[in-house]
C-alpha cells in the first residue's frame, strides 16, 4: 500500500486566492450583463456580430482558474511513498501533560501561562524527535488527546488546540492524570517512561504525591515544569462579551500563584526533577538533554523512505492551459 502526501502542504492555502479570482470573474460578468441589458436591442445586435465571444471569454476564465489550481498543487508537490522500510531506533516513551485549567490563562507570563506552555511543548517536540511522544490534557478531569506516536506534525496540531474550554470540569486534579498516564504507557516495551507535567501547580494534592510514588516504583519518572510567578496574577474571564477577572464567592478578584513547592514534591516523589519556567530559551534544550540521559530501548518503526514527486505533471498542465488561454485571447482580439 502506497502512502500519499503533500511535501509542502502550506502552499495549498493559496487556493483561497483562486476562489477570490473566481468571485471577481463572476462579479465582472454580472456587471457586464447588467450594462448590456440597458442597451436593449443593441445587446442582441452585439451577440449576432460575435456569437462566440461570450463562450470564448468564459473558456478563458476557466482555463486561468484551472491553471492556477494546478500551479498550486505543483507547488505543494504531491508525492507517493513507494518504498517501505523497517528501521530500529533508540527511544523513550514521553507523555506531555498540559494543564488547561483557567488559572493557566493568568497573564504573569506574556501572553499567558498556557500559551507559553504550548510554545515550550512545541520546542521540546523538535528536540526530542526520534522518541515516541503522547499528549494529555488535564484540569478537573484528564484525557488522552493523542496516544504515543512519532507523527510529530499531528502532535503539534493537537498541542496548539489546547484551551480551557476543552475541559468538561475545571480545577486541577493530578491523581487522575497520573493514573491515566500509567494506563496509557505501553509497559510491555522495556523503555524509559516519562510523564512531563506542564502546570502552575495551583493545588496541593496528597493523593497525587502517593500516586507519583507508586508510578515511580513501577518505572515511570515524573518531571514537572512550573509556569507562573510567586507574585501571581488575576485570571481573565469573559462576561457578557467583556473582559473581567475571576472572582470568589464574595466578589473579590482571585489571584493565581505558582505552587513551586508542590511541583517540586511531585517531581521528587516521581523520581524526576522540577524545571521552573523563566522564559529562558535554553530551557527546552536543558530538558531534552536531561531526558536523553535516560536509558533507551530499541524500537521498530515502519517508514516510507522513498517518495516519488508528481509536481511536474501538474506544472505541465498549468503551463498547457495558460498556452491555450493565450491562443483564445489572440482569437478574441482578431475577431
Please state whether beta strands 78-91 and 93-99 pair in parallel, antiparallel, or not at all (unpaired): unpaired
Asked whether residue 131 is assigned to any structural domain, the reply reads yes
305 inside domain: no
* DSSP secondary structure string for all residues of 165-207: GG-SS-S---HHHHHHHHHHS-TTS-S-EEEEEEE------HH
Closest CA to 203 of 170, 243, 165: 170
What domain range is 292 assigned to?
88-300
Q: Is residue 10 part of a domain?
A: yes
* Confidence at residue 47, expressed as pLDDT on a 0 to 100 scale: 54
Number of domains in the chain: 2
Same domain as 214, residue 266: yes
Question: Does 146 score more than 80 pLDDT?
Answer: yes
Q: What's the chain's average pLDDT? A: 87
User: Is residue 49 domain-shared with residue 173, that is, in the same domain?
Assistant: no
Q: Are residues 64 and 114 both part of a single domain?
A: no
Q: What is the pTM of this model?
A: 0.65
Q: Name which of 251, 238, 103 is nearest 171 in CA terms.
A: 103
Quick one: average pLDDT of 243-253?
87
Whether 70 and 121 map to the same domain: the answer is no
Residue 96 belongs to some domain of the structure: yes
Q: Is the pLDDT of residue 45 over 90?
A: no
Same domain for 146 and 13, yes or no, is no
Cell for 76? 505543494
Question: 109 and 17 in one domain?
Answer: no
Residue 289 C-alpha cell reads as 538533554
Q: Do 118 and 257 sit in the same domain of this protein? A: yes
204 lies in a domain? yes
Residue 316 within a domain: yes
Within-domain flag for 83: no
224 located within any domain: yes
Residues 329, 255 share a domain: no
Shared-domain flag, residues 289 and 314? no
Average pLDDT of span 310-322: 93
Q: What is the CATH number of the domain that holds 228?
A: 3.40.50.410
Cell of 63: 482555463
Helices (H) and strands (E) in the chain, counts: 10, 13
Q: Tell me the Ramachandran region of residue 189: left when phi exceeds 0, alpha when psi lies from -120 to 50, beta otherwise.
A: beta
Domain check: are 196 and 220 in the same one?
yes
Whether 179 shows a pLDDT value over 80: the answer reads yes
Amino acid at each position: 500500500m502506497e502512502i500519499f502526501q503533500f511535501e509542502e502542504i502550506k502552499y495549498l492555502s493559496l487556493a483561497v486566492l483562486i476562489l477570490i479570482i473566481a468571485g471577481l470573474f463572476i462579479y465582472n460578468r454580472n456587471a457586464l450583463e447588467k450594462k448590456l441589458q440597458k442597451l436593449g436591442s443593441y445587446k442582441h445586435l452585439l451577440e449576432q456580430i460575435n456569437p462566440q465571444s461570450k463562450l470564448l471569454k468564459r473558456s478563458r476564465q476557466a482555463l486561468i482558474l484551472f491553471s492556477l489550481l494546478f500551479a498550486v498543487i505543483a507547488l505543494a508537490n504531491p508525492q507517493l511513498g513507494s518504498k517501505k522500510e523497517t528501521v530500529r531506533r533508540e527511544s523513550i516513551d514521553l507523555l506531555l501533560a498540559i494543564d488547561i485549567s483557567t488559572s493557566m490563562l493568568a497573564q504573569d507570563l506574556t501572553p499567558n501561562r498556557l500559551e507559553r506552555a504550548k510554545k515550550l511543548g512545541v520546542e521540546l517536540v523538535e528536540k526530542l524527535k526520534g522518541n515516541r511522544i503522547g499528549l494529555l490534557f488535564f484540569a478537573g478531569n484528564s484525557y488522552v488527546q493523542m496516544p504515543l506516536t512519532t507523527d510529530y506534525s499531528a502532535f503539534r496540531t493537537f498541542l496548539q488546540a489546547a484551551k480551557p474550554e476543552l475541559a468538561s470540569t475545571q480545577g486541577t486534579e493530578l491523581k487522575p492524570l497520573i493514573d491515566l498516564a500509567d494506563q496509557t504507557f505501553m509497559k510491555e516495551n522495556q523503555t524509559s517512561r516519562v510523564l512531563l507535567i506542564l502546570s502552575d501547580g495551583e493545588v496541593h494534592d496528597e493523593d497525587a504525591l502517593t500516586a507519583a510514588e507508586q508510578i515511580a516504583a513501577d518505572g515511570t519518572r515524573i518531571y514537572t515544569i512550573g509556569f507562573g510567578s510567586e507574585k501571581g496574577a488575576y485570571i481573565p474571564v469573559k462576561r457578557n462579551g467583556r473582559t473581567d477577572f475571576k472572582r470568589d464567592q464574595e466578589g473579590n478578584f482571585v489571584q493565581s500563584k505558582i505552587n513551586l513547592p508542590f511541583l517540586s514534591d511531585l517531581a521528587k516523589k516521581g523520581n524526576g526533577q522540577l524545571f521552573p519556567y523563566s522564559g529562558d530559551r535554553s530551557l527546552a534544550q536543558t530538558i531534552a538533554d536531561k531526558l536523553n540521559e535516560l536509558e533507551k530501548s530499541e524500537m521498530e518503526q515502519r517508514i516510507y523512505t522513498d517518495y516519488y514527486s508528481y509536481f511536474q505533471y501538474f506544472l505541465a498542465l498549468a503551463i498547457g492551459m495558460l498556452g491555450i488561454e493565450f491562443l483564445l485571447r489572440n482569437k478574441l482580439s482578431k475577431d
